[in-house]
């Protein structure tokens, strides 16, 4: 039977592709490259595709732009890095209104300006589907890099923010009859969490941590950190307390 991308899944495909990369560079939310003494360059890329990651039904162009920029800044935050700039690659059908593209860039710019970052280049090509591909550049001190592979037995699992808010907002957008018991304020807050997520660049852990971005789910983040660190984890739902530090799932050194 011929293997396909669908049959092996995203994680197995990534492991196959990682064989073509240096082992000491891959495996985290972004690549860390030495550029000069005392400084490390952090590079991450993310792709959003129309019909997969967004649609006109739930996401206006400004929100698509914000979310695409925020996703990359969130990966930088998960590495402990401060953002420097991004480049943008666009694949666009010829029928896309110019106003939609301008709205996309307004959303990206508004998100980036909040964190003192800007767009420094990119590329545009013809495509059958709208695709937004961003590469973000950040910088971090060698002593402040956050890795997935440094968790140790005895560490505590800490999460921040509210997992599920974005998905709840999406469900409200897709099903207008849902969430009738919610107040207007709570409803608006959940929809905002989906359309305009906030990368937690405001958080810099004052202690050594292992960690990663957990936007794909808390369980997935715990499994990936444990796999990278070759440790196990135990989560007691009744005792689990959420500590608001950032949207990354951190393993705090309690020693």
Residue 230 confidence (pLDDT):
93
Core vs surface per residue 43-81: b (16+ CB within 10 A) or e: bbebebebeebbeeebbebbbbbbbbbbbbbbbbbbbbb
As beta bridge partners, residue 122 has 88
pTM score, whole prediction: 0.76
Per-residue model confidence as pLDDT tens digits over 126-153: 899 999 999 999 999 888 889 999 999 9
Contact 146, 80 (CB under 8 A): yes
247 compared with 237, residue with greater pLDDT: 237
Residue 241 confidence (pLDDT):
52
**Domain spans, the chain:** 5-144, 146-160+200-255, 163-193
Please give the class, per CATH, of domain 5-144.
alpha beta
Residue 218 confidence (pLDDT):
85
The tokens describing 254, both together, are 């309690």
Element spanning 103, H or E: helix 98-114
């Amino acid at each position: 039977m011929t293997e396909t991308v669908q049959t092996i899944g995203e994680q197995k495909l990534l492991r196959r592709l990682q064989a073509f990369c240096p082992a000491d560079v891959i495996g985290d939310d972004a690549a860390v490259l030495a550029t000069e003494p005392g400084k490390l360059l952090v590079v991450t890329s993310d792709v959003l595709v129309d019909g997969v990651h967004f649609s006109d039904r739930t996401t206006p162009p400004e929100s698509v732009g914000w979310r695409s920029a925020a996703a990359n800044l969130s990966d930088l935050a998960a590495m402990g890095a401060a953002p420097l700039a991004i480049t943008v690659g666009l694949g666009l059908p010829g029928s896309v209104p110019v106003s939609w593209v301008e709205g996309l860039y307004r959303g990206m710019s508004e998100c980036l300006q909040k964190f003192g970052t800007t767009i420094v280049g990119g590329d545009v090509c013809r495509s059958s589907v709208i695709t937004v591909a961003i590469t973000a550049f950040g910088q971090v001190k060698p002593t402040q890099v956050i890795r997935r592979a440094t968790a140790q037995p005895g560490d505590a699992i800490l999460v921040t923010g509210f997992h599920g808010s974005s998905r709840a907002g999406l469900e409200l957008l897709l099903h207008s009859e849902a969430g009738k018991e919610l107040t207007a304020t709570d409803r608006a807050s959940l929809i905002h969490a989906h359309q305009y997520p906030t990368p937690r660049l405001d958080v810099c852990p004052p202690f050594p941590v292992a960690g990663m971005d957990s936007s794909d789910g808390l369980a997935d983040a715990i499994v990936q950190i444990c796999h990278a660190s070759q440790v196990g984890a135990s989560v007691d739902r009744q005792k689990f307390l959420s500590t608001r530090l950032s949207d990354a799932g951190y393993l705090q050194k309690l020693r």
